[in-house]
Amino acid sequence: MMPTVKDFMTTNVITIDVNRSVLEAAKLMHQQDVGDLVVMDGIAAKGIVTERDLVRRVLAMKKSLDTKVSDVMSDPLITIDQDAPLRDAARLMVKYKIRRLPVKKETVLVGIIAASDFARHLSKKTFSEEILAAMTRYPLADSSR
């Protein structure tokens, strides 16, 4: 069976309100030890702000730390459905040159999948291939003898 986004996503998504400042965003990323925040307007996910956005769009531009996250977030937000095949998530990341993809169930934010989550998939796949290879090299003893 083809693995889906739901199998590899992180369900604990750290979010920030659209009206919060970039300083609050940086503090929250530090406290939660994450590199990105999904920007919310009420219950709607509107964008994403990453450490890279803070460097490029705030520090490098010498913007005030009071700047709203909505002014520096990546938007429109590219998302994927939780039941989509994992390969579709990979394709979207490559197409849009992004490393993190918020996951929705219908219109509700339910998780996030990062490029690093694919390493888990690869290691699992490799492990199962090794097991299969070992099983074919050493056939099970015939118990009918």
Residue tagged 């095949």 (tokens): 85
pLDDT computed for residue 145 by the predictor: 43
40 domain-assigned: yes
Number of structural domains found in the chain = 1
pTM of the full structure: 0.80
pLDDT computed for residue 117 by the predictor: 84
34 domain-assigned: yes
Q: Write out pLDDT tens, residues 11-42.
A: 999 999 999 999 999 999 999 999 999 999 99
Q: Write out pLDDT tens, residues 110-124.
A: 999 998 887 776 666
Burial class (CB in 10 A: 0-12, 13-18, 19+), 70: middle
Please say whether the dihedral angle defined by the alpha carbons of residues 5, 94, 112 and 19, taken in this order, is positive or negative. Answer: negative
Burial class (CB in 10 A: 0-12, 13-18, 19+), 30: exposed
Task: Provide the pLDDT confidence category of residue 135 given band limits of 50, 70 and 90.
Answer: low
Domain that holds residue 23: 5-137
